[in-house]
Chains A and B, each alone.
Chain A
Amino acid sequence: MTPIDTSIYAAITDAIQTEAGRILSEGQVTAVVGYAAARRKGSAQPIVISNPDDAQKLIFTAACVNNLAVYLTKAKKEIPKTGKIGIVVKGCDLKALSGLMGESQLKREDLYLIGVPCAGVLGSTVQPATELTTGTIAAKCTECDAHLPTGCDFVPNQTPITPELEQKYAVEIARLEALTPAERWAYWQEQFSKCIKCYACRQVCPFCFCEQCLCDRNKPQMVETTPRPAGNTAWHIVRAMHLAGRCAGCAECERVCPMDIPLNLLNRKMAKELKELYDHEASFEVLDKGPLTMFTDKDDQSFIK
């Protein structure tokens, strides 16, 4: 367990507070979405501030795990309507925002992006006051290539020190791929059988913004809604499929899952396939079309007779 250097987070907190206070008092934005200290020691929670005096409440620590992009989607209608919004984003969150802009859910000119140079955040199963080490860091951070967000309106002038870590998802995907189909089926059935259909994964996902989810429809019912094996399996397959080529890898689904189903593992697998097949990766770039909404006439069709 080597500790990871998070000493820059104090300076980042100061910079965020100053910047948020400035843009609010100058009237550049009507509100700022950020992180504030929560009641448990060391924990953090999302906060929306509209008063410049409240800027002092904003923080950035290793416990700031949430992807705040979810507050700007269609699913949370009331916030974006109020005008230009400032938002604190880590690299992974910025990828989600870029994806949303690409899908015409948000406009860049309606946002004031406060980027955070991030060395990593804590995993979902550790106490919020824990020190950030190679053991307590979130699995998504072990594969992160977006420590320093670019294209933001403001980024504190800090450089995170990021050691090379063992890529947790890549290792697990390789392990599963080496198994036989029957063994993989058994593994996923064990995972899916834990599902209680609370839909927390859908609720927290920035890309699950459909007004009516296919899985909630009952005429015709495509996916059984009860937490039974058939419906659970279908839900997780449909979820992974609908996020393929869109998922930004913020791993919020996995973090919020009360039953600890490795949801991001499916998302990472799909991302890996899309990289291999169509050379697509989630990035800060705003793309007009995702990999599954476009095509070329030279796409692989070796599997088609």
Chain B
Amino acid sequence: MHPEKQTHAFEPKIIAFVCTWCTYAGADLAGTSRMQYPSNVRVLKFPCTGRIDPVFILKAFQQGADGVLVSGCHPGDCHYIAGNFHARRRFAVFRKLLEFIGVDLNRLQFSWVSAAEGGKWVEVVTDLTERVRAMGPMTEFKELAMEEQWSGAINTPELQEAYNSI
């Protein structure tokens, strides 16, 4: 029944910020229709794409996401009438900022997936997962989070020795 499960050396973590009215229902439809899509995606449900703050995307990258997907209702279909229009402008600007800071935009995907588009959800998630898999892990933000405080860097032999003796 199920196709042979492929194994990969690297399984990317994909965080999906979705709106509850369209994309979440779309993902639900994909599930109830028994469509197969990568289990790499972690879905986080929000009331609306307008609720998704760009800081969430930063936080996701810092906490170890390799790719981020933001998905909501098609323009004109918003349950709150205009939330996705506001989100569209905000993210258009935010991705330009990330690009300028030096983040590869291939790791960040925006999409409109309606409640009836289970197939499109599968396609979007599969595309992003395979693309990020080919790119390898996102290290930039993770390394920052791991880095020690600048004043505490072990930069002298004496400090290194003291550190080793702990």
**Interface contact A295-B150, CB-CB below 8 Å:** no
CB distance from B155 to the nearest CB of A (A): 14
**Interface contact B88-A241, CB-CB below 8 Å:** no
Are A230 and B147 CB-contacts (below 8 A) given A214-B55, A299-B92, A301-B75? yes
Bound Cα distance A245, B75 (Å) = 22
Bound Cα distance A186, B53 (Å) = 25
A to B CB contacts below 8 Å, 25 in the list: A177-B100, A185-B102, A185-B140, A188-B102, A222-B53, A227-B150, A228-B148, A229-B145, A233-B141, A238-B55, A241-B93, A241-B94, A270-B97, A273-B96, A274-B93, A295-B82, A295-B86, A295-B88, A297-B85, A299-B85, A299-B89, A301-B88, A303-B110, A304-B111, A305-B111
B40 part of interface (Cβ distance < 8 Å)? no
- By the criterion of a CB under 8 Å from any partner CB, how many residues of chain A are at the interface? 47
**Interface contact A229-B55, CB-CB below 8 Å:** no
Question: How many pairs of residues, A versus B, come closer than 8 Å at their CB atoms?
Answer: 121
- Looking at chain B, what size class is its interface with the partner chain? 35 or more
Of A184, A228, A238, most buried by chain B (CB within 10 Å of CB) is: A228
A199 part of interface (Cβ distance < 8 Å)? no
Q: Which residues in chain A, 215-267, are within 8 Å of chain B measured between CB atoms?
A: 222-223, 226-230, 233-234, 237-238, 240-241, 244-245, 266
Bound Cα distance A177, B97 (Å) = 11
Rank and list the top 6 A-B pairs by shortest CB-CB distance, nearest first: A185-B102, A184-B102, A295-B85, A305-B111, A230-B144, A229-B144
User: What 0/1 readout, one digit per residue, does chain A (266-305) give for beta carbons within 8 Å of chain B?
Assistant: 1001100110011000000000000111110101110111
CB distance from B5 to the nearest CB of A (A): 26
Extra pairs beyond A237-B98, A304-B112 (4, CB < 8 Å): A244-B93, A299-B85, A305-B112, A305-B124
Are A183 and B102 CB-contacts (below 8 A) given A273-B93, A297-B75? yes
User: What 0/1 readout, one digit per residue, does chain B (103-116) give for beta carbons within 8 Å of chain A?
Assistant: 11000011110000
